[in-house]
Chains A and B, each alone.
Chain A
Amino acid sequence: MKNFKYSWLVGVVVTLVILIAPILYFLPKNEAKADDPWAHVPQRLPHTDHSALLKGPFADGPAVTRACLECHEEAGQQMLQTAHWKWESEPVLLEGRAEPVALGKKNAINNFCIGIQSNWPPCTACHAGYGWVDETFDFTNETNIDCLVCHDTSGAYVKANGGYPAEGVDLLAVAQSVGSPTRDNCGGCHFRGGGGNAVKHGDLDESLYYPPDSVDVHMGQHNFVCTDCHQTEDHQIKGRAITVSLDDKNQVYCTDCHTEQLHDDERINAHVQTVACQTCHVPLGAVREATKMHWDWSTAGQDREEDPHEYLKIKGSFVYEKQFMPEYAWYNGTAGRYLMGDKIDPSRPTSLNTPHGAIEDETAKIWPFKIHRATQLYDTEYDYLLNPKTAGEGGYWTDFDWDQAARLGSAVVGLAYSGHYDFAPTEMYLPLTHMVAPAGQALQCVDCHSSAGRLDWAALGYEGDPINRGGRAQSQLLPADAAGEAN
């Protein structure tokens, strides 16, 4: 041994072996699940104090915008391309239609306040611009952009009809407060869709300003703001809603942050092919604030007791519901679209935006929806829905004359009006995707797979409860090639 020069080397190697072998033997064999949702949540920008940069005084909104554009030179052109400005999409070729269609709030018809055309001033109070009061509004003028509605952090900015700042708003103070959009900026319009708190969506309302964990796990427990998920580049905000969007490009997905196979239970992971995350994790709509489920325009105009949640003379009667159980349908991310002038069958409900998808469509998943049902104006001769003028001079809300409202509205949208109207049932699908509940409130097996379960298997196209009959892949409810892929 003594003659061997490198005996120390042998010693070190042997020692390392002694150390490493038992450690390797005892190391845990299972790999931990790789799921790090926080890695996908954007870093929030540090706040820049604008009070020294903006001296004012500002005579009106556009004056503020000009000041903004001095430094943020690109912002104007960026904004002019956005849906928040245009209220209209790029033209999209829709199934069954010859010409590409450009659609948005600008020209769509819904079953709440029906359509903005001829009714601009009150509707455009939520437009990110100044002065959209009629069809002549200039969509190419950067100075008409309202920067403040999204960037005010003072909470003192209020918009009035036509999108103008309300009287009494201290534009200098508001301008100096600007920062990244907060819940208040988005919520000011989106929590009040349909004209008031909680009216439209069923998953967006003012309870989300300060939500407890049980209402929204992201915004409550994890203190998210809207733009943490609706990430924004060049003022293009991620997110699509089939109430107005025609395609599902630039959509926000749970899987942007979460891995698909993150449940401990393989049975639950297997659901991910068929069931949207939202189906289990948004077990209820309208968790805190009741939302409008039904709107009957035909009863409007009566002089009877008013209650904003039951009856208004200008609008008719409503049904509001809180903590409602969603309705479930196949949905592949796009939807059909009722366009102004499309024929209807007044004897049955006309769906304005039926979600695309069926059990045979391997890209479709079962989704939770709020379905808003309404009874609204249509032309009995031409059999299409009418866009009545409600707001302003001669509108229904002032004169309570449907015929006149239909005539005035139709003239603006360019539809013929026969002079004969009645009311027809309509439906609108609103996918529920906000108000994600904490895991402890997600649906459990029995909520769907039991005699008292909430899914109508036959209506969804199943042979029976898939817990007994097998899922769509196993029971050949998917086309053969798709079934192969689904596995």
Chain B
Amino acid sequence: MMSKPPFSFLIPPRRFSLWLLVAIPALLFILAAGVALAQEPSVHPTFPLLDENGQNVLESGQPVSTMTSCGECHDTAYIESHSFHTAVGLNEFTQAGQAPTGRAWDTSPGLFGKWNPLTYRYLTPSGDDRLDLGTADWIRQFGARHVGGGPAVASRTGELLTALAVIENDPETHVLDPETGAAAPWDWQESGVVEMNCFLCHLANPNNEARIAELQAGRFQWANTATLLGAGIVEKVGNDWQWHEAAFTAEGELAAPFSAMQDPTNENCGQCHGLVHVEPDQPLATTGCQADQWSTETTGQIMSPQRLADSGMNLAGKQALSRAWDIHAERLVACVDCHFSLNNPIYYQESEETRPEHLKFDARRLDFSDYLLRPSHEFAKGQSAQGSLAPELKGSMRRCESCHSIEATHDWLPYKERHMDAISCESCHIPQMYAPARQMLDWTVLNPTGEPQVGCRGFAGEPGDFDRLITGYTPVLLSRRTIDGDATLAPHNLISAWFWVYGDPTRPVRLLDLQSAYFSDTGDYHPDVLAALDNNGNGELEETELRLDTPDKVEVIKSRLAALGLANPRITAEVQPYSINHNVTHGEWVTKDCQACHSQESRLTQPIMLASYLPGNVLPEFVIDTNTEVAGETYTTPQGELMYRPATTAKGLYILGHDRVAWVDWVGVLILLSTIGGIAVHAGLRFFVSLRLPQHEPELEQVYMYTTYERLWHWLQALAIMALIFTGLIIHRPDMFGQFSFAYAVQVHNILGFILLINALLAAFYHLASGEIRQYLPHPQGFFSQAITQTLYYTRGIFRGEAHPFQKNPQKKLNPLQQITYFGILNVLLPLQVISGMMIWGAQQWPQIANSLGGLPFLAPFHTLVAWLFASFLIMHIYLTTTGHTPLANIKAMIVGWDEVEVHGKA
């Protein structure tokens, strides 16, 4: 297969000096030409540029074939077949409607076959009458973000595109003729195909613009050659390409430094993936929302180490924004450090599942020469909502916690494990996006330039003002199901799109047809359209008029589409979540305030605007091929804005301080208020009666009623319960107690809970061991009649100045009503409250125990309800202490131990 031994460049001495001899004049040439190439000397050897027949391009003048040239040393066939960047869905191609997206016209989960309203035009499935994008047009449209190979070389059935027989109307051999709207055959022989473009990612300064220009012009075979334009290797004269002999050695090999190939840098990746900025002293500037900056457009992510304050953008509060756009870029973690080749021996780590238990680390590595021969171009992937391509590789990338120790850095965070289980690192570490991002596209209308109405989030002021303030936006937190099955909240942007579809099976209305519906042949709006939409009658459609906001307007467009032969045209709408995993920050920029989430206005349920109006009055639905779980509500504000508010409870989360069960609080308040009301009436009656009745002077006797330990136990418990109710209230409604720190309240509440528990256990032991427990046990004999007697005393006798029906003594401190109440409190309420509290506290260490009882969504409201009961009991209990012979007598007894008891005749 190879004419010379591979990796001979790894044997340095002799060749190295030779290499230098060539390199020095070449370097001078470069300096003269003023072309900046890679700064570091490259170990990549010189190599000939070959055309697809294996002939040197200097001789043949043909376009360079990367598959052949790079294939001299590297197994390019292996690389192409192990690269989702080349396949972009071709290997997962399905019948229309069978793709995981569920859209009736989608044919794959990748760029080749998965529709996106941002780019609108769709790859027409085979067999459709109306052709939108054939394969050749797909390359012209999407080639800018495709590295070549895959569908740019091979058909859906795996044949070479150049070898396809022309079948009538077949999208693989036809393109749309924009003049006629009909399918026109495409000459693959003339255009050639686009081979996998090694240069695009492995050259320091590939000429992507020239590459894209060739693609869009349909000169596919020259696209890879165009990538070299401007470096001094090749130049374009008219439509002809001329190879520069000066860039080659005498042997016809591409000389150094032209031959320098490198690991892909962030700039290489950024060509397709989004805005990358590296020069530290050049202020970063972007208006955002630009179609050629994919991830920047969809989410506002910008890969730059620069501090926001140093950027050239009109950012709100810019002076204080000393954080970098992306902490990993700032710390020199490059794209490929995380998204590495899966068989790169430097990064390769065996998965926990396959690693035998006796082995901590398998030292055997793929040899470098083997790796360089067959480097897998399947790159480690995250688990984004939008990236449905190559699902088998989802999660192959190391996550935040694979590199970062949470233990070492999050000690300040209470309930660490619980938080890590429920929320992703990004939720707090990407608290805010500072660049604008796409919000919505309204393809139900076309503006005068034939484009949809669009909206961006993160701007203040009127669109079009060049100096408008960039406010950025707060990502919405959606529940993300990872491949391990965990669901954590993670930040997302939501892009909503409204568009016309027709027919059955459903197809989106082609851009061409939409334009025919809106515009007349002259390029102006069709009179019918103008009549329907031009509210102010000035003959033009302003932005605010370009809306299908009434059924009449919808009907006009619908009938115009129907007139084009489209069956049952209708508006449909979808919401696509885009995961945000980059632009991470650290330190003071991270969400650390408990009340950011644990409060009424919780970050977790913060709504996000989907659109500033509702096109066609159609509510959008979330796309189905994501790993997000949508459990919120979509609603319109009185201003007509369409909003989405995530719901936490529906995801099995109960956010203390934010989530509440309304009826629990209502019932609790009702019980509390009726207790207070009852006491007020009772106390009032007692007061009036005491004015009329003669002063009752019972005979009193000093009795040592409560032992020291009993009193200590009682008061400690009393203080603990009162403080627990208070701190519990802060945790329950932090908004009402803004002056108290939530974290502090939680901490104190936990400590108090344990004090209460230990105190209760020791008291139980004391009562059991000493036999004092008998005090609390009602004697069955005569219990009911005694209870009734006591009740009658409280409801009647007490108003008549009667003596207490039962004499209190150290052996019988409690009356029958107290016995039953305390029995209930101590044996039912207290244990319930302690156990439910322990489970809430223990939800971090032993979540399965809490979950077996319904998790926090059950335990927390239950705990709240019992707390209300406790509060009511407390008030009742305190009131009843005043029913002694003087109002403070009982309290005094509990403090000093000695009680003055009424003597009911000598017993």
Q: Taking beta carbons and an 8 Å cutoff, which residues of A are in contact with B? A: 1-2, 7-8, 10-12, 14-15, 17-19, 21-23, 25-26, 28-30, 264, 438-441, 444-447, 449-454, 467
Contact = CB atoms under 8 A, between A and B. Distances in A.
B331 interface: yes
B280 A446 contact: yes
B587 interface: yes
B712 A440 contact: no
Given A438-B322, A444-B307, A446-B329, 9 more contacts: A7-B708, A10-B709, A14-B712, A15-B759, A17-B758, A18-B716, A26-B751, A28-B412, A467-B332
A448 to B, nearest CB: 10
Interface string B750-768: 1111110011001000000
B845 interface: no
Interface size of B as a range: 35 or more
B411 A28 contact: yes
Contact of B758 (A18, A450, A467): A18
Instruction: Give the interface SS of chain A, mostly helix, strand, loop or mixed.
Output: helix
A217 to B, nearest CB: 12
19 contacts: A1-B770, A2-B707, A8-B708, A11-B713, A14-B712, A17-B758, A18-B759, A19-B716, A21-B758, A26-B754, A28-B411, A30-B411, A264-B587, A440-B309, A450-B278, A450-B280, A450-B305, A450-B332, A451-B40
Contacts of B40: 451
A23 B758 CA distance: 12
Contacts of A452: 278-280
Contact of A19 (B322, B332, B755): B755
Contacts of B331: 445-446
A252 to B, nearest CB: 26
B341 to A, nearest CB: 19
For B39, B707, B751, the residue with the greatest tally of chain A CB atoms inside 10 Å of its CB is: B751
A467 B330 CA distance: 13
Nearest to B310: A441
B147 interface: no
Instruction: Give the interface SS of chain B, mostly helix, strand, loop or mixed.
Output: helix
A21 B758 CA distance: 10
For A18, A445, A467, the residue with the greatest tally of chain B CB atoms inside 10 Å of its CB is: A18
B709 A7 contact: yes
Contacts of A441: 307, 309, 322
A22 B280 contact: no
B527 to A, nearest CB: 58
A446 B332 contact: yes
Nearest to A21: B758
Contacts of B754: 21-22, 25-26
A1 B707 contact: yes
A23 B712 contact: no
Interface string B703-714: 000011100110
Contacts of B708: 7-8, 11
A444 B305 contact: yes
B747 interface: yes
Nearest to B758: A18
Nearest to A23: B751
Contact of B755 (A22, A29, A438, A447): A22
Given A1-B707, A15-B712, A440 B307 contact: yes
B324 interface: yes
A3 to B, nearest CB: 12
A421 B752 CA distance: 88
A1 B708 CA distance: 11
Contacts of B750: 22, 26
A25 B279 CA distance: 50
Given A28-B412, A440-B307, A467-B332, A14 B762 contact: yes
Contacts of A467: 332
A61 B185 CA distance: 101
Contacts of B753: 22
Given A8-B708, A15-B716, A467-B332, A447 B751 contact: no
Contacts of B411: 28-30
A368 B794 CA distance: 86
B712 A11 contact: yes
Interface string B734-752: 0000000000000100111
Interface string B21-53: 000000000000000000110000000000000
B768 to A, nearest CB: 13
Contacts of A29: 411
> Which A-B residue pairs are the 3 nearest by beta carbons?
A440-B322, A22-B754, A8-B708
B279 A444 contact: no
Contacts of A440: 307, 309, 320, 322
A451 B280 contact: no
A11 B307 CA distance: 61
Contacts of A26: 747, 750-751, 754
A33 to B, nearest CB: 13
B712 A444 contact: no
Nearest to A214: B319
Contacts of A15: 712, 716, 759
A392 B477 CA distance: 76
B712 A12 contact: yes
Contacts of B330: 444-446
B762 A18 contact: yes
B751 to A, nearest CB: 5
Nearest to B760: A18
A467 B309 CA distance: 26
Interface string B399-411: 0000000000001
Contacts of A21: 754, 758
A444 B280 CA distance: 10
B689 to A, nearest CB: 40
Contacts of B709: 7-8, 10-11, 14
A403 B331 CA distance: 57
A395 B713 CA distance: 97
Contacts of B713: 11
B322 A446 contact: no
Nearest to B265: A451
A13 B324 CA distance: 55
Interface in B322-354: 322, 324, 329-332
Contacts of B716: 15, 18-19
A264 B329 CA distance: 19
A28 B743 CA distance: 12
Contact of B332 (A7, A8, A18, A445): A445
A299 to B, nearest CB: 31
Contacts of B305: 444-446, 450
A385 B305 CA distance: 47
Nearest to B279: A452
A12 B713 CA distance: 10
Interface in B354-413: 411-412
Given A12-B712, A467-B332, A22 B751 contact: yes
A454 B752 CA distance: 56
A276 B290 CA distance: 43
Contact of A449 (B39, B309, B332, B751): B332
A445 B306 CA distance: 11
Contacts of B770: 1
A438 B712 CA distance: 55
Nearest to A325: B281
Given A18-B716, A446-B330, A451 B39 contact: yes
B281 to A, nearest CB: 8
For B330, B709, B759, the residue with the greatest tally of chain A CB atoms inside 10 Å of its CB is: B709
A14 B753 CA distance: 17
Contacts of A14: 709, 712, 762
Interface in B248-303: 278-280
Contacts of A446: 280, 305, 329-332
Given A11-B709, A15-B712, A449-B332, A444 B324 contact: yes
Contacts of A2: 707
Nearest to B411: A30
Contacts of A30: 411-412
